[in-house]
Structure 1
């Protein structure tokens, strides 16, 4: 598969099948069912979804524009395999964006929003109490969703899109370099951030967010985990 640098994501007009495939693959990548380096064969994906190579290629192009998939000439498409330097850049970007998102969210947050955040923390806690790979993936996704909810409450659509990509890339980085204990610590930090949001203490909330991001990055190591085969990861 070849992806031209001249193509913009806005030039793509995928049909519903391409969007569905993109969403299924994206979820499998973000949920860590497909680990970095996994080959995404157009023929295999097409067979799993009963779709043409053209439709599959459109889905993979969308993922490539998000940075979740890389295309290599004469080799095909692979789940992106971020380098340590790229991992550092992801978290450096989050440090630049998320304190501002927290400040903006405090100006707009409502009682209903606070209730939604509390429910989200309950979901995180529920997954933490369960065991097995599926619960672990759900726990990590719930942790990322907390940050995406903050971006949504902040009310800036552009920042929300950036955060959607950064959280997805963070999941890739954690899949490759992270240990298994960070999200449990992160859950407590989410609660502290929520307390600061409720008190509308922007200074403390921003400081807590920076500490939280530092904590996640400090948990990274160089161990590589084994992933599932494409068919097993997608479960279709």
Structure 2
């Protein structure tokens, strides 16, 4: 009897692990702008691509829906979220509120080792910025978001970190839908200026620079729509 229970639990864990792996793959494709807002995520197609049941796919899509990256419609299925202009404004308004707190918390915990990690991150951003091609642009956007996630991690608040993870993902979705330039929208030196202020312990300046930085990202938005790609092409499976 106990063996059957254990086997059932192992099966459930395997399904959950598969669902999370699919969630991560779809999430990366959305955040990296390989899946455009409005793209239909067919349970049957995703199941075929990953060789899993529809139940596992449904669990993965529910995780993404909880994060706000996917919306589900009755009798129609699941789609990559297509945020309205008001929702886009709310995303950046939320970032202003949360990232001000992250700056203050990170400033109190910042170590020389953290500074070194940030410098490596800035170098990665610069490398992708100097490369050409769509893949390089996606890599730059991801690297830019990683700077903000690293700040949240240094701040040491797991709840804020989770919020930032979701907000950065939603920001990437908004940029995919409304971004004019198709790049990260981060000024070439803005992250570096924020880090310099933090390293000097100037929280007020670092906070001011972060607010200006978020304003800059939001100012690059318009109503231009992205090109839609197929699910298979976006996942490169």
**TM-score normalised according to structure 1 size:** 0.93
Contact 1:69 1:78 in 2 (8 A): yes
Distance 2:184 2:68 in 1: 23
| Cα pair 1:182 1:219 within 8 Å, conserved | no
1:177: Cα distance to partner?
A: 0.3
Matches within 5 A, 1:4-43: 15-43=16-44
TM-score (norm 2): 0.92
> Partner residue of 1:72?
73
Mapping of 1:91-110 within 5 angstroms?
91-110=92-111
Q: Distance in 1 between matches of 2:193 and 2:92?
A: 20
Q: Give distance in 2, aligned partners of 1:49 and 1:182.
A: 30
Could you tell me which residue of structure 2 aligns to residue 216 of structure 1?
217
* Equivalent residues of 1:64, 1:71 under 8 A apart: yes
1:183 matched residue in structure 2: 184
Structure 1 residues 123-154: Cα deviation after superposition (integer angstroms, max 9, x where no partner): 00000111111100000000000000000000
For residue 122 of structure 2, what is the aligned residue in structure 1? Answer: 121
Structure 2 segments unaligned to the other structure (5+ residues): 1-11
Alignment partners' CA distance in 1, 2:219 and 2:176:
14
Segments of 5+ residues of structure 1 without an aligned counterpart are 1-11
Local SS of the residue matching 2:72: strand
CA distance in 2, matches of 1:28, 1:182: 16
RMSD over aligned Cα atoms: 1.3
Q: Is the contact between residue 100 and residue 210 of structure 2 (CA under 8 Å) also seen in structure 1?
A: yes
Report whether the alignment pairs 1:164 with 2:165: yes
What is the distance in 2 between the residues matched to 1:36 and 1:182?
A: 17
Aligned residue number for residue 132 of structure 2: 131
CA distance in 2, matches of 1:169, 1:203: 27
Partner SS for 2:118: helix
Q: How many residues align?
A: 225
User: 2:185–2:220: 8 Å Cα contact kept in structure 1?
Assistant: no
